[in-house]
Structure formats: C-alpha cells, structure tokens
Amino acid sequence: MAKLVFPANFLVLILLGVPMLLMARYSLNEYDPLYLMKEAFTFENYARAVVDTYYQKILLTTIVVALSCTVLTTLLAYGPAYWLARMESSWKSKLTILTMFPLLVGGVVRSAGYIALLSTDGLINASLQGLGIISKPLQLLYTPGAVIFATVGIVLPYMILTLASVIESIPRQVEDAGANLGAHPATVFYRILLPLSLPGLLAGASLVFILCMNAYATPLLIGGPQFQMMAPVVYEQFARTSNWPFGAALAFILLIFTIVLTTAGSYMISKKYTGD
C-alpha cells in the first residue's frame, strides 16, 4: 500500500524539494553585481534580513495583514458557510458553484477589478461625487485598508467552502438537543457548533493565513509601491536587482514564519476549545 504514495512523493520531491534545496544553497551565497553571486557559505543574508528594522517592519506588516485578513475572513465566512451547509433545497449546489466562481478568475484580474472600484476615478468615488456626498475623491486605492479589503474578497471562498464541508458533517440533532435542553442559540454555537467545527475552522484559517502571508498580486497592485509586504519584496530582489542570495534568504524567512505561526495558531486554538 505504501508503494502507492511513491509517485506522488517522487513528484513533490522533484518539483518542490529540489528547487527549494537549490534556493537554500543560494541563500548562503554572496551577491555579486557582475556575476550575480559568488559561492560562499555565509548566514549574512539571513542576519541582514532579521536585524534590519526595514525588513522587520515589512515582515510585521505582512503578519498583521495576514492575521487581520484571517480573522475578518473567518467572521465573514462562518455565517454563509453555516447557511450553505444546512441548506436542503436544490439551490445548494448552485450556490456552492457560485461561491467557487471567484476562484475561476485569476488574482491579477480580480485585483484589476478592485482597482476599477477603488481608484480616484473609480466606481465608489464617482458614485459618491455624483451623489454630492464628497467634493474631492477619497484616497481608497494604495492604502492598507484596500489591501485587506481586496485580500479578504479573494480568500473568502476558500474559508466558506472549507467550513461548509465540516459543518455539513455535524449532525443537526446535536444543535437541536442543545436547544431542547434550554441552551441559548449563542450557547449552542459557542459550546457545540464551534468546537465541533473547529477542524474546518483551523483548516480554513490555516489555508487563508498561508495565502495571505504569501500574497503577491494584491499588495502589489492594490497597495501600490509604497505598501510593502514580503512576497513582492522577495520577488523584487530576484527581478529588479538580481540579488538571488538575499531574495532566497527572505523567501526562507517568510516560509519559516508562515510555518511557525500557522502551527502555533492551530495548536493554541485547538488547545483552547478542545483541551487537547
């Protein structure tokens, strides 16, 4: 039976493991403006990224945006996910497909849509000016709020679908039993539904958090050049200065923080609600 996983593992090893090993090696090299890099074995790139307050700030911004998006997405997704999971009409499959629909459109295209919505001559500003509510356009685009708004819009379907599939597997009778015994709906949610849907919540939150930590197109297009998050900064090191060693080190720092924060978050939430 174990042999069956070999092809998949082999593919992962080749397509993910080997490039990552190569990047790990590059991260220990030294940058050279003429030859791109010099062979070395130094942790200087990591030290520079960790000690430098400029990169600390970018990492912090990334974490704050990712956490904010995860919390907002969870709050916004739980209701629709519950509603979708408990739906029994023929609309259920149609609404599920509709929820998935935004995922069929690429992130760049969706970001272009948000630009049309949020820019100074975009739909929101034009409407507000047309109604006489504002005289000068509001600066909506190229702000942290716009990045969070657009990112939540992009990751929301992941959370709704993950949560809905788990809530669907929770027997409705357990909620009814709680209500029959006199529990307030809020108590039913907090004491029964939330702990039982925790696996879906953790899976969805982890997925959303990872996507947000590594968001590239949205911060770049919606945040503008002055809003800095890690993925665009990593790309910048490769694509604008050819500094592969430092870019690789930044990429690994992002990877490490994403893994550590996702694991720690899942562990803490799981501990709080299940005591495991």
Partner 1 sequence: MTTISRRAFLASAAAASASTLFPTSLLAASKDLVVGTWGGTFGDLLKENVDKPILTPAGYNVLQEISGPVPRRTKLISERLQRKGSMDAALLADFDMHAAAKVGALYELDTSNVPNTANILPFLKKKNSVPLIYSAHAIVYRKDLIKTPPASIAELWNPKYKGKIGLSDFLYTTNMAYAAVGNGGKLTDMDAAKKGVEAWKELDVKLLPSTEAVGNALASGDIWMTIISAARGYSWNKKGTDLGWVVSEEGAFPAVYEAAVPKNARNPEAGFAYMNALLTPSAQKAFAERLGYLPTVSNGSISPELEKQIGFTEAEQNRLWIPDLDFIMENQSSMLDTWNRVLKG
The binding site for partner 1 (CB under 8 A) comprises 19, 22, 25-26, 29, 31-40, 54, 57, 120-121, 220-221, 224-228, 236, 238-244
In whole angstroms, the minimum distance from the beta carbon of 233 to partner 1 comes to 8
- 36 versus 123: smaller Cβ distance to partner 1: 36
Nearest CA among 140, 162, 146, 245 for reference residue 210: 162
In whole angstroms, the minimum distance from the beta carbon of 176 to partner 1 comes to 54
Q: What are phi and psi of 162, to 5 degrees?
A: -65, -45
In whole angstroms, the minimum distance from the beta carbon of 120 to partner 1 comes to 7
Compute the distance between CA of residue 19 and CA of residue 248 in angstroms, rounded to an integer: 11
Tokens 């940058």 sit on residue: 31
In whole angstroms, the minimum distance from the beta carbon of 46 to partner 1 comes to 17
26-33 CB contacts, 8 Å cutoff, 24+ apart:
26/244, 26/245, 26/248, 27/245, 27/248, 27/249, 27/251, 27/252, 28/245, 29/244, 29/245, 30/245, 31/243, 31/244, 31/245, 31/246
Nearest CA among 103, 204, 224, 199 for reference residue 154: 103
- 73 versus 228: smaller Cβ distance to partner 1: 228
In whole angstroms, the minimum distance from the beta carbon of 60 to partner 1 comes to 12
- 228 versus 258: smaller Cβ distance to partner 1: 228
- 198 versus 221: smaller Cβ distance to partner 1: 221
Compute the distance between CA of residue 107 and CA of residue 212 in angstroms, rounded to an integer: 12
- 57 versus 172: smaller Cβ distance to partner 1: 57
Nearest CA among 29, 57, 23, 53 for reference residue 41: 29
226-250 in b/e form (b: 16+ CB < 10 A) is ebbbbbbbbeebeeeeebbbbbbbb
In whole angstroms, the minimum distance from the beta carbon of 35 to partner 1 comes to 5
In whole angstroms, the minimum distance from the beta carbon of 198 to partner 1 comes to 39
- 19 versus 106: smaller Cβ distance to partner 1: 19
Q: Which residues contact 179 (CB under 8 A, 6 or more apart)?
A: 185, 188
- 22 versus 259: smaller Cβ distance to partner 1: 22
